[in-house]
């Protein structure tokens, strides 16, 4: 059952690749809540077919773009205002990729060309999207822009590699641009720091299964899944959160405030060899 939270709103959703993508769930929810929007992803992703299926289901137009390419972004924003019939109320940036992770380069053996690409795709593209919308004056007053982050921006998690640096930059961009866009146009800019989630990008993270289990055991509410994340995004696009800006909002079942939980401790204790413990006694 919908609440019509986005009735009459126009949006752009970047990053829906398949039905596991967080952006896919956001698109479904935005549609259910009455929004009209366009969908954007890389040219390759748009050709793969799934995005078309989502577009048909939600009445959206697909506009291919490499989010690191300014001309592509200008086209996304111009075409979106044309097909949606006016300025934009919300944008979701749900984009991330690390070539170092893909090519299994460790953090103490980074390829710097790959690092530059990681930062450009996963963080600077957020600045590019916002700056393009800002310069084209494409957002309505009190609009909302959201990107997806991860707690590795603040805390070191084994295996997250250079994506941790990208997320730290992403969150900083939300603060820096949030100030300017808020001051001039009342547009809010936030990041949501999401639990580890089973998606195509998530599966690339080293030891993702163990990480998902660990953070689930650590979180009093358990991990937030992609659907939970979509629900939270909708509230940030709605008029109910008009004074929330420049924030990194943890959406992780409580994980980021925990040090050790009973469930995680129980699992940790299982790993001790009882004989070894006796010898120490």
Ligand X SMILES: NC(=O)c1ccc[n+]([C@@H]2O[C@H](COP(=O)([O-])OP(=O)(O)OC[C@H]3O[C@@H](n4cnc5c(N)ncnc54)[C@H](O)[C@@H]3O)[C@@H](O)[C@H]2O)c1
User: Which of 13-21, 79-87, 175-183, 257-265 is the region at the interface with ligand X (rule: CB under 6 A)?
Assistant: 13-21
Q: Which is nearer to ligand X, 141 or 209 (CB)?
A: 209
Residue 197 makes contact with ligand X by CB under 6 A: yes
Q: Which is nearer to ligand X, 43 or 242 (CB)?
A: 43
Between helix 125-135 and helix 70-84 the angle, nearest 10°, is 50
85: nearest Cα among 172, 184, 11: 11
32: nearest Cα among 56, 52, 55, 3: 3
CB of 152 to ligand X, least distance (A): 9
Residue 209 CA to residue 203 CA, distance in Å, equals 8
260: nearest Cα among 225, 222, 219, 208: 219
The binder of ligand X chosen from 15, 143, 178, 253 (CB under 6 A): 15
**Computed from CA positions of residues 241, 24, 17, 103, in that sequence, does the dihedral angle turn out positive or negative?**
positive
**Computed from CA positions of residues 221, 224, 225, 227, in that sequence, does the dihedral angle turn out positive or negative?**
positive
Q: Which is nearer to ligand X, 113 or 184 (CB)?
A: 113
Total residues interacting with ligand X, rule: CB under 6 A: 26
CB of 186 to ligand X, least distance (A): 25
Residue 74 makes contact with ligand X by CB under 6 A: no
Q: Which is nearer to ligand X, 118 or 238 (CB)?
A: 118
Residue 80 makes contact with ligand X by CB under 6 A: no
Residue 201 makes contact with ligand X by CB under 6 A: yes
CB of 216 to ligand X, least distance (A): 12
Residue 202 makes contact with ligand X by CB under 6 A: yes
Q: Which is nearer to ligand X, 81 or 215 (CB)?
A: 215
Residue 253 makes contact with ligand X by CB under 6 A: no
Instruction: Give the long-range contacts of residues 136-140, CB within 8 A, separation 24 or more.
Output: 136/74, 136/77, 136/78, 137/87, 137/185, 138/77, 138/80, 138/81, 138/87, 138/88, 139/87, 139/88, 139/89, 139/91, 139/181, 139/185, 139/187, 140/86, 140/87, 140/88, 140/89
The binder of ligand X chosen from 54, 73, 95, 153 (CB under 6 A): 95
Name the site residues for ligand X (rule: CB under 6 A): 15, 17, 21-23, 41-42, 45, 66-68, 94-97, 121, 148-150, 194, 196-197, 199-202
């Amino acid at each position: 059952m919908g609440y019509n939270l986005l009735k009459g709103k126009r949006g752009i959703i970047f990053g829906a690749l398949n039905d596991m993508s967080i952006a896919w769930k956001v698109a479904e929810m935005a549609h259910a809540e009455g929004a009209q929007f366009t969908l954007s992803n890389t040219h390759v992703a748009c050709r793969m077919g799934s995005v078309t299926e989502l577009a048909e289901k939600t009445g959206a137009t697909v506009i291919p773009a490499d989010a690191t390419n300014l001309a592509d972004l200008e086209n996304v924003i111009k075409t979106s205002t044309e097909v949606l019939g006016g300025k934009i109320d919300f944008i979701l940036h749900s984009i991330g990729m690390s070539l170092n992770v893909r090519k299994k380069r460790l953090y103490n053996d980074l390829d710097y060309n790959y690092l530059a690409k990681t930062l450009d795709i996963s963080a600077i593209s957020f600045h590019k999207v916002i700056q393009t919308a800002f310069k084209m004056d494409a957002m309505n007053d009190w609009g909302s822009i959201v990107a997806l982050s991860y707690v590795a921006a603040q805390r070191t998690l084994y295996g997250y590699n250079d994506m941790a640096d990208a997320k730290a930059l992403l969150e900083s961009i939300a603060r820096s641009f949030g100030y300017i866009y808020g001051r001039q146009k009342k547009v809010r800019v936030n990041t949501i720091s999401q639990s580890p989630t089973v998606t195509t990008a998530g599966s690339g993270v080293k030891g993702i299964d163990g990480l998902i289990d660990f953070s689930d055991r650590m979180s009093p509410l358990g991990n937030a899944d992609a659907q939970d994340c979509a629900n939270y995004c909708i509230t940030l696009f709605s008029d109910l959160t008009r004074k929330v800006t420049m924030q990194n909002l943890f959406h992780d079942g409580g994980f980021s405030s925990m040090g050790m939980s009973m469930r995680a401790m129980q699992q940790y204790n299982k790993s001790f060899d009882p004989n070894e413990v006796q010898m120490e006694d």
